[in-house]
């Protein structure tokens, strides 16, 4: 079995995708670091102070003014209101939610890439894992070996898991190394608040507690890898079903992008919460942002994603084992 | 060589996956079985005094600058003006919220961070009352003397509280209370509304006079002659030129005050 997995890993590494992905991540992290640096400088210049409390207070006032202006949508108003209450909570307890530093940058990068960027990178690796064997004609050679079919597919699935773990690792290492050069490498022990829950338009702070940033980050990375595995499994299923890698990519891309768009406008379509793509932003539950549809919770979203993942896994094994190849 | 790199990648990834898995375990522990919520207590930071001249602006849309297309408002022009007069760096914190009424300002001033900002202030600019009195034009169009009297009474009490809070937080800073002008002067019952605004301003100035270093700055006269030229298209807020007039007026006072105080 180990040999089979090793064989699959060899194929993946040979394709050089993992390196391309690392390069993409490096470039993006560089861009975001620069943008963030510019932004911080701009705010400091505008307010004439480096005191984060003044900056946060000013943000709160700006949000209050936006809430008072007419012509903002109901969803956006709710989102702003929740964020406002949260910012006020941070301010009241004298905790800086965005103290500069590489760990903070990593946290924000993970939070912003969990919905689209990370799934896309996963998709690039996984999309042709099986379909390329079918379209390249190597499938027959593979299946004529004296190894059970499920073992072959399992080895591919494990190789997928290993690759996803590598992508996560690249994301963490690169974003820490590159952003740290600008913002400094410290800040692992900064306190952060978690445990906010949203009830209607109000922010419930009953379960709020402090955790150090490294733990917060660990939690978010765990969730990100879970999302990556689920998206990977779905792509894997499509790759088993279809011979064309381009079709696999197309479908996944459409699903992921529609998810990003839907999350912004589905609040009135309640059954949309069972779609996997509106549940990808798991880290929002940790930070306490308002969910896209009322009633969605961390447990619910994890459950939905797990069901989608499991079904996809079962379908891919079933199809692969029973399919006639000729 | 090739095989080695594959082995290294695989090994690193497997090790990393242990970390991600641990992350999930931590997540379940922390989110689903939260530690018996030790709600962190409220804490307030110490006020810091730096060399910069610190200006805190409080109040409603006038301080916010609604109606000025550059978004500066009188506070912006005031700071511009001051920058030409002094080399000292100036720090502006504009805490004004559109549509704020006096009772809401009383609430806002209870916030710890707002109080901290006030402690650091050298100057405070304040506009309040416009929304109490005009309520978007409602109360003056179908006004009754009875209702206006009630509104004013409540307002004056709030103003008292506001001034007291500011003075308690910071006994040194010079406070400029910008009083009201009458945007409805040229309408049908301009005579009556003007009378109300004058009375309102007079009573407010009386409250201000009870506290040291709180200065009531009149704006009534600025808009008296050419009301429409200085009003924004909503016929309520000043336009750019109107804000410039107010900014200049306060700026003139600050130069004087600086010679005295600093």
| pLDDT per residue as tens, chain B (262 positions) | 567 888 888 889 889 999 999 999 988 888 888 776 566 667 667 777 777 888 999 999 899 988 888 888 899 999 999 888 888 888 888 999 988 999 999 999 998 889 988 998 999 999 999 888 887 556 556 667 888 888 899 999 999 999 999 999 999 899 999 999 988 888 777 888 888 899 999 999 999 999 999 999 999 998 888 888 888 888 888 999 999 999 999 998 886 444 444 4
Q: Do A48 and B98 touch (CB under 8 A)?
A: no
- At residue B2, the pLDDT reads 63
Q: How far apart are CA B106 and CA A159, in angstroms?
A: 62
What long-range pairs does A95-99 form, CB within 8 A, spacing at least 24? Answer: A95/A191, A95/A192, A95/A193, A95/A210, A95/B40, A96/A52, A96/A53, A96/A56, A96/A190, A97/A56, A97/A192, A97/A193, A98/A52, A99/A52, A99/A187, A99/A190
Closest CA to B194 of B181, B207, B204: B181
State how far Cα A326 lies from the chain centre.
39
Q: Do A166 and B30 touch (CB under 8 A)?
A: no
Residue A310 tokens read as 């499991």
- The DSSP-derived string for B18-44 is HHHHHHHHHHIIIIIS--S--PPPP--
Residues in chain A: 326
Strand partners, B124: B56, B175
Question: Which of B16, B105, B110 is best to mutate for the A interface (most A CBs within 10 A)?
Answer: B16
Burial state string for B8-36 with b = 16 or more CB within 10 A and e = fewer than 16: ebbebbeebbebbeebbebbeebbeebee
Looking at the complex, does the CB of residue A8 fall below 8 Å from at least one CB of chain B? no
- The DSSP-derived string for A175-240 is HHHHHHHHH-S--TT-EEEE--EEETTEEE-TT-EEEEHHHHHHHHHHHHHHHHHHHHHHHHHHHH
- At residue B261, the pLDDT reads 42
Residue B90 tokens read as 């100036």
Specify the pairing of strand A197-199 against strand B90-94: unpaired
Q: Which residue of A has its CA nearest to B3?
A: A10
Q: How far apart are CA B59 and CA A89, in angstroms?
A: 22
End-to-end CA distance of chain B: 74
Q: Are the CB atoms for A317 and A150 separated by under 8 Å?
A: yes
Q: How far apart are CA B102 and CA A273, in angstroms?
A: 43
Alpha helices (H) in chain B, listed in sequence order: 2-27, 61-64, 73-85, 102-108, 112-120, 130-134, 138-141, 145-169, 190-209, 240-261
Strand partners, A191: A212
Question: Which of A94, A106, A305, A306 is best to mutate for the B interface (most B CBs within 10 A)?
Answer: A94
Q: Do B26 and A219 touch (CB under 8 A)?
A: yes
Contacts with B, A 80-99, CB within 8 Å: 88, 91-95
* Non-local CB neighbours of A177 within 8 Å, separated by 6+ positions: none
Q: How far apart are CA B43 and CA B41, in angstroms?
A: 6
- At residue B140, the pLDDT reads 58
* Non-local CB neighbours of A221 within 8 Å, separated by 6+ positions: A110, A168, A172, B19, B20, B23
- At residue B201, the pLDDT reads 93
- At residue A47, the pLDDT reads 77
Q: How far apart are CA B169 and CA A25, in angstroms?
A: 50
State how far residue A93 is from chain B, nearest Cα, in angstroms. 4
Phi (first) and psi of residue A115, to 5 degrees? -85, -40
What residues of A are in contact with residue B121 (Cβ under 8 Å)? none
Q: Do A13 and B92 touch (CB under 8 A)?
A: no
Q: Do B37 and A6 touch (CB under 8 A)?
A: no
Burial state string for A256-275 with b = 16 or more CB within 10 A and e = fewer than 16: beebeebbeebbeeeebbeb
Name the stretches of chain A with pLDDT < 70: 266-267, 326
Give the C-alpha distances (Å, rounded to integers) separating A142 from A128, A139, A235. 15, 5, 21
Looking at the complex, does the CB of residue A113 fall below 8 Å from at least one CB of chain B? no
Q: Do A94 and B44 touch (CB under 8 A)?
A: yes
- At residue B40, the pLDDT reads 64
DSSP assigned state of A291:
P
Looking at the complex, does the CB of residue B27 fall below 8 Å from at least one CB of chain A? yes
Q: How far apart are CA B86 and CA B103, in angstroms?
A: 36
Q: How far apart are CA A89 and CA A162, in angstroms?
A: 40
Q: Are the CB atoms for A248 and A242 separated by under 8 Å?
A: yes
What are the residue boundaries of the structural domains of chain A, listed by start? 2-50+98-322
Contacts with B, A 29-68, CB within 8 Å: 47-49, 51, 53-54, 56-58, 61, 64-65, 68
- At residue B38, the pLDDT reads 60
What residues of A are in contact with residue B3 (Cβ under 8 Å)? 10
- At residue A121, the pLDDT reads 92
Closest CA to B53 of B17, B15, B87: B87
Residue B180 tokens read as 């009201």
In three-state secondary structure terms, B176 is strand
- At residue B259, the pLDDT reads 47
Residue B93 tokens read as 């914190």
- Rg, chain B, Cα only: 26
Q: How far apart are CA A234 and CA A259, in angstroms?
A: 14
């Amino acid at each position: 079995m180990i040999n089979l997995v090793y064989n699959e890993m060899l194929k993946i590494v040979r394709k050089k995708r993992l390196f391309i992905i690392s390069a993409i991540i490096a470039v993006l992290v560089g861009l975001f670091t620069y943008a963030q640096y510019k932004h911080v400088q701009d705010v400091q210049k505008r307010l004439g102070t480096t005191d984060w409390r003044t900056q946060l207070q000013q943000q709160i006032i700006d949000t209050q003014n936006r809430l008072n202006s007419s012509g903002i949508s109901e969803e956006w108003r709710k989102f702003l209101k929740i964020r406002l209450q949260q910012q006020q909570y941070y301010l009241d307890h004298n905790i800086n939610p965005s103290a500069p530093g590489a760990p903070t940058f990593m946290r924000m990068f993970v939070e912003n890439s969990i919905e689209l960027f990370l799934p896309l990178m996963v998709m690039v690796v996984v999309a042709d894992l099986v379909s390329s064997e079918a379209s390249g004609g190597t499938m027959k050679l593979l299946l004529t070996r004296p190894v059970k079919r499920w073992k072959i597919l399992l080895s591919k699935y494990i190789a997928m898991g290993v690759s996803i773990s590598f992508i996560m690792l690249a994301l963490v290492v690169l974003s820490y190394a590159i952003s740290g050069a600008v913002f400094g490498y410290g800040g692992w022990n900064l306190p952060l608040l978690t445990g906010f829950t949203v009830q209607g338009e109000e922010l419930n702070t009953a379960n709020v507690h402090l955790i150090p940033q490294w733990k917060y980050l660990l939690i978010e990375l765990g969730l990100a890898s879970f999302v990556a595995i689920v998206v990977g499994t779905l792509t894997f299923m499509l790759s088993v079903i279809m011979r064309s890698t381009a079709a696999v990519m197309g479908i996944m891309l459409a699903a992921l992008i529609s998810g990003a768009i839907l999350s912004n406008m589905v609040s009135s379509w309640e059954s949309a919460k069972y779609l996997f793509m509106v549940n990808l932003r798991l880290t929002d539950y940790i930070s306490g942002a308002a969910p896209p549809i009322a009633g969605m919770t961390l447990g619910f979203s994890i459950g939905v994603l797990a069901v989608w993942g499991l079904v996809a896994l079962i379908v891919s094994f079933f199809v692969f084992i029973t399919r006639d190849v000729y | 060589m090739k095989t080695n790199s594959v082995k290294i990648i695989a090994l690193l990834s497997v090790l990393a996956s242990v970390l991600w898995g641990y992350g999930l375990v931590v997540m379940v522990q922390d989110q689903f079985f939260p530690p018996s919520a030790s709600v962190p207590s409220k804490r307030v930071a110490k006020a810091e005094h730096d060399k910069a001249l610190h200006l805190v602006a409080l109040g409603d849309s006038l301080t916010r600058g609604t109606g000025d297309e550059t978004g500066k408002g009188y506070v912006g022009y005031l700071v511009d003006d001051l920058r030409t007069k002094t080399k000292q760096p100036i720090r502006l914190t504009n805490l004004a919220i559109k549509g704020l009424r006096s009772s809401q300002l009383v609430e806002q001033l209870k916030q710890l961070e707002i109080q901290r900002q006030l402690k650091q202030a050298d100057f405070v600019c304040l506009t309040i009352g416009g929304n109490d009195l005009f309520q978007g034009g409602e109360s003056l169009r179908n006004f009754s003397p009875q209702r206006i009297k009630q509104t004013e009474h409540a307002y004056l009490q709030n103003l008292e509280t506001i001034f007291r809070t500011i003075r308690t937080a910071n006994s040194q800073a010079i406070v400029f209370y910008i009083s009201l002008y009458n945007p409805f002067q040229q309408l049908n019952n301009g005579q009556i509304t003007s009378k109300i605004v004058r009375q309102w301003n007079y009573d407010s100035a009386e409250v201000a006079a009870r506290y040291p270093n709180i200065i009531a700055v009149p704006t009534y006269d600025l808009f008296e002659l050419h009301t429409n030229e200085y009003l924004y298209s909503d016929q309520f807020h000043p336009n750019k030129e109107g804000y410039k007039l107010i900014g200049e007026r306060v700026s003139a006072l600050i130069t004087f005050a600086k010679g005295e105080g600093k």
